[in-house]
Amino acid sequence: MQSLAMIENWPVQTAAAAVVRADGTLAGAHGPTAQRFPLASVTKPLAAYAVLVAYEEGAVELDEPAGPEGSTVRHLLAHTSGLAFDEHRVMAAPGTRRIYSNTGFEVLADHVAKATDIPFAEYLRQAVLEPLGMTATTLEGSPAKDGVSTVDDLVRFAAEVQAPRLLDARTVLEAMTVVHPGLTGVLPGYGHQRPNDWGLGFEIRDGKSPHWTGGSSSPRTFGHFGQSGTFLWVDPDARAACVALADRAFGPWAVEAWTPFTDAVLAELRRGGGA
């Protein structure tokens, strides 16, 4: 895909990107797709997928208590537990505000580790990474932000999310469906959003503006971006997903570069472009 070459103009030292269709075929790739990059918050969808495997295995229930009083596994996945961004402090009653929380994902991982009697990084490896052949991906600390991976590996994950093998398709559909619709909140890097919609570990685009995906991205687009200059989106209407990893922290450069990049990728897909 010619549009992927736009990463050459990003003000970064190294970047890699790829697009995978809903049928699992690679539409195109550009850059060092086997190079490992810190994922930052793109770690969260991987962690969430492991939690959903634990749910399907019966180790946890989505509506069982977890985190602050009144909070559940579902609240933690959807950033509605009331926990603060990066500290064990309750800022709101569960289900009343969308407070993006790294702490919430750490509490969630501890909950799953206790329920399965397996350290969460190992559970993630066994439940998600190993079955998908993501051999270059590791969790090296917080399940909210300390994953390290490659474009090649994340393409495997993006293909899985579009055509699930590890989870029932109904579970994945629930993960990409808004939890507690209408809640407002801050989308890091893009300001206050009304509403600030999320599913189970995946951010949902809906009508958010500004946003890190494209102006032509469908409202059903879901995924995540990371403060290390990384993103993964899945657009069900385009029947494709895109992964881009870079070695420069998120900032104004990304706000300026990512949206036209995604719009170019989607335009090429609509023209039938790709390998």
Q: Where are the domains of the chain?
A: 2-270
pLDDT at 274: 62
Q: For residue 52, which of 68, 23, 76 has the smallest C-alpha distance? A: 76
Q: Does 194 have pLDDT greater than 70? A: yes
pLDDT level of residue 212 (50, 70, 90 thresholds):
very high
CATH class label, 2-270:
alpha beta
Q: In degrees rounded to 5, what are phi and psi of residue 240?
A: -160, 160
Please give the order of strands across the beta sheet that includes 147-149: 37-40, 147-149, 138-139
pLDDT at 272: 85
pLDDT in tens, 4-45: 999 999 999 999 999 999 999 999 999 999 999 999 999 999
- The Cα–Cα gap between 64 and 62 comes to 6
For tokens 């474009």, what's the residue?
Answer: 151
Q: What tokens does 32 get? A: 């060092």
Instruction: Read off the pLDDT of each residue in 170-186 and give the average, rounded to a whole number.
Output: 96
pLDDT in tens, 54-113: 999 999 999 999 999 999 999 999 999 999 999 999 999 999 999 999 999 999 999 999
Instruction: Read off the pLDDT of each residue in 176-205 and give the average, rounded to a whole number.
Output: 96
Kindly tell me the burial class for residue 61, based on how many C-beta atoms sit within 10 Å of its own C-beta (0-12, 13-18, 19 or more).
middle
Q: Does 273 have pLDDT greater than 80? A: no
pLDDT at 275: 59
pLDDT in tens, 124-167: 999 999 999 999 999 999 999 999 999 999 999 999 999 999 99
